[in-house]
Amino acid sequence: MLTTLPFPVRDANAQSGDIPLEGLPEWDLSDLYASQDAPELSRDMEWLEKACADFAATYQGKLAGLDAAGMLACIEAYEQIDLIGGRIMSFAGLRYYQKTTDADRAQFLQNCQEKITVFTAPLVFFSLEVNRIDDTVLDGWFADNAALARYKPIFDRLRAMRPYQLSDELEQFLHDKSAVGASAWNTLFDETVAGLVFTVNGEDRGLEATTTLLSDKDRATREAAAKEIARVLGENVKLFARIHNTLAKEKEIEDTWRKMPTPQTGRHLANHVEPEVVEALRNAVVAAYPRLSHRYYELKRKWLGLDVMQVWDRNAPLPMEDDKLVDWPDAEKIVMDAYADFDPRMAEIAKPFFTDGWIDAGVKPGKAPGAFAHPTVTNVHPYVMLNYLGKPRDVMTLAHELGHGVHQVLAADQGEMLSSTPLTLAETASVFGEMLTFRKLLSKAKTTAEKKVLLAGKVEDMINTVVRQIAFYDFECKLHAARAEGELTPDQINDIWMSVQGESLGPAFEFMDGYETFWAYIPHFVHSPFYVYAYAFGDGLVNALYAAYEEGYAAFQDKYFEMLKAGGSKHHKELLAPFGLDASDPDFWAKGLSMIEGFIDELEAMED
């Protein structure tokens, strides 16, 4: 954790950039450190260097000989190192995301990352030695010491990597070079994207401000924005192809050395999810394309009065949609009311985000695009980043990110090593919070047109979260498979991109020249390979979970809070069991997808 940029992957439906609103909240990062020159930061950096060296001197080569109490002390020392290193990197990373074009912030982040990579190098032995300990020794420790047994999930995850572990020397080498490997290419990608300039209707804009125009009410503006994105990406496609080629090859080399059977194996292990469960999800969604995206976009084509839709019509507002903006106080009230209606405890947890400087909402030059919630460390609190423009979908993004924040606050009691939720479950509270807010708005709809706009917006978000992300996953699978055969030209990557677009979006669309390069700006492919299926996993899981809530499942709220509090301490099977759900059951995904179908049924019924 400590050796890489703490990049909080941007959410699937986050949109941003256009005319900034006034009076929006900004982060107060002083809960981490007052400034990059704060004496507390220097103190912690010095402490970290000594603590890592002391840890290695105390424990290296001795883990198997410890008793249960000794191993508990070892784990607690490691957790404290994790905490301090995570605090430093969170502060450096969040400052950078506020203004990625600031050279001083970028330098500070890189310097912190390089120092911590050096400091933590002596810790590499830990996971390697743990994986050489006999199972009977571990079982004895857990039987003897309940406090240590709480950390069993950590040992289970480490030992899941045993078949793929390299020699101590090679693991040390990979650790030492991490700061100039993938993370350096990630930084190049971020800085390149942040520096792109798009000119639409005579006005220069950043990427986020330009992609927002793809949902503008004026079709000519949407078309101009799409063509300008294509032009700029086309001019830079060689660099983006180089980044993807290099990262995919680096991953292939490491996977080959580790003898991982597929490029996706590492992600599945990190997510604590079985490959067959992901494959069942993927297959269920692909099979449902005609019933979901194809059917919905055909409806939308008719609403827009078009013979065929262009890519710039995909996120177009409906003709009957009100373009009134939602100011920040109203957005806060909408989301907080929805949370409080579900359970007052949820609103209480969410309140400090608005009152204590835990949200950075404004659109500012150089700010990282999209939206995220970063948990920082368990003895501080999460921070939420938005690019809020007052559009209805921005309100849903606020509900989504606040859900992440609530989840992270609740899981913090697990401690630094057990609080982190695998990606497949990390979207649970966010999507659930979004659904609560959507249902609240839907219940207040006064006209059929208003209800149609809300339903259509929700369906589009769900398609973007489920259909589009599975298409992205297929793109990545094909990209990595093709890269294993050799270097890919930009045209070859473009062809892979287009091979999944028509299949997922359906016959209502026509694809303009230049759309083939739109893979180039998507950060998930660069920062977290194969991350994207987690969105579909989370949406399907929450749809099934919300159905149980609507059906009045006994003590639902209490069980829901217990699930969020578990953080990363339990497997998805154990977390879902209290709700009578099982993600390994093929019917589970069908249940989640049926909710989207039900919304489309309602929209079709409104046409009669």
Each residue of 178-206: pLDDT tens digit?
Answer: 778 888 899 899 999 989 999 999 999 99
pLDDT band at 10 (very low <50, low <70, confident <90, very high): very low
Provide the pLDDT for residue 16: 44
Last residue of a domain, one of 504, 527, 550: 527
Flag whether pLDDT at 534 surpasses 80: yes
Provide the pLDDT for residue 11: 53
285 and 154 co-located in one domain: no
pLDDT band at 5 (very low <50, low <70, confident <90, very high): very low
Bridge-partner residues for 203, per DSSP?
200
Provide the pLDDT for residue 162: 84
Which tops the pLDDT comparison, 4 or 402? 402
**Percentage of residues in the chain having pLDDT higher than 90:** 71
3-state secondary structure of 309: strand
Q: By C-alpha distance, which of 327, 446, 455 is closest to 398?
A: 327
pLDDT band at 19 (very low <50, low <70, confident <90, very high): low
CATH of the domain at 59: 1.20.140.70
CATH of the domain at 400: 1.10.1370.40
Flag whether pLDDT at 15 surpasses 80: no
49 and 170 co-located in one domain: yes
Residue at 597: amino acid letter:
E
Those residues whose C-beta lies under 8 Å from the C-beta of residue 139, and which sit 6 or more positions away, are: none
488 and 393 co-located in one domain: no
Provide the pLDDT for residue 376: 96
Total domains, the chain: 3
453 and 488 co-located in one domain: no
Decide: residue 261, CB within 10 A, 0-12 exposed, 13-18 middle, 19+ buried.
exposed
37 and 65 co-located in one domain: yes
Flag whether pLDDT at 8 surpasses 80: no
407 and 500 co-located in one domain: no
Provide the pLDDT for residue 18: 52
Cβ–Cβ under 8 Å, residues 169 and 175? no
Flag whether pLDDT at 366 surpasses 90: no
First-to-last alpha carbon distance for the chain, in angstroms, is 55
For residue 292, being part of any structural domain is answered with yes
Flag whether pLDDT at 168 surpasses 60: yes
CATH of the domain at 241: 1.10.1370.20
283 and 363 co-located in one domain: no
pLDDT band at 299 (very low <50, low <70, confident <90, very high): very high
For residue 193, being part of any structural domain is answered with no
169 and 152 co-located in one domain: yes
Flag whether pLDDT at 3 surpasses 60: no
Mean pLDDT for 562-574 is 91
Bridge-partner residues for 510, per DSSP?
310
Provide the pLDDT for residue 12: 47
Write out pLDDT tens, residues 253-294: 999 999 999 999 999 988 888 999 999 999 999 999 999 999
Write out pLDDT tens, residues 67-91: 999 999 999 999 999 999 999 999 9
pLDDT band at 236 (very low <50, low <70, confident <90, very high): very high
Provide the pLDDT for residue 608: 61
For residue 102, being part of any structural domain is answered with yes
Cβ–Cβ under 8 Å, residues 491 and 237? no
Provide the pLDDT for residue 1: 40
pLDDT band at 20 (very low <50, low <70, confident <90, very high): low
Flag whether pLDDT at 17 surpasses 60: no
Decide: residue 112, CB within 10 A, 0-12 exposed, 13-18 middle, 19+ buried.
buried
**Percentage of residues in the chain having pLDDT higher than 70:** 97
Flag whether pLDDT at 145 surpasses 60: yes
CA distance 112 to 3: 9
Least confident of 32-41, 340-349, 423-432: 423-432
Provide the pLDDT for residue 2: 43
- What DSSP character marks residue 316? P
Mean pLDDT for 25-51 is 97
DSSP H/E element including 539: helix 533-550
Those residues whose C-beta lies under 8 Å from the C-beta of residue 540, and which sit 6 or more positions away, are: 281, 466, 588, 589, 592, 593
Task: Extract the tokens encoding 283.
Answer: 């297959």
- Average pLDDT over all residues of the chain: 91
Provide the pLDDT for residue 193: 93
3-state secondary structure of 38: coil
E strands in 9-97: none
Mean pLDDT for 159-170 is 85
Those residues whose C-beta lies under 8 Å from the C-beta of residue 169, and which sit 6 or more positions away, are: none
Q: By C-alpha distance, which of 249, 287, 230, 315 is closest to 494?
A: 230
Q: By C-alpha distance, which of 277, 546, 579 is closest to 438?
A: 546
Cβ–Cβ under 8 Å, residues 11 and 539? no
Residue at 184: amino acid letter:
A
For residue 14, being part of any structural domain is answered with no
Cβ–Cβ under 8 Å, residues 607 and 299? yes
Decide: residue 463, CB within 10 A, 0-12 exposed, 13-18 middle, 19+ buried.
buried
423 and 557 co-located in one domain: yes
115 and 168 co-located in one domain: yes
For residue 595, being part of any structural domain is answered with no
Q: By C-alpha distance, which of 376, 516, 240 is closest to 248?
A: 240
Q: Which domain holds residue 244?
A: 203-321+464-527
For residue 414, being part of any structural domain is answered with yes
pTM of the model: 0.82
For residue 600, being part of any structural domain is answered with no
448 and 487 co-located in one domain: no
Residue at 577: amino acid letter:
A
Residue at 539: amino acid letter:
D
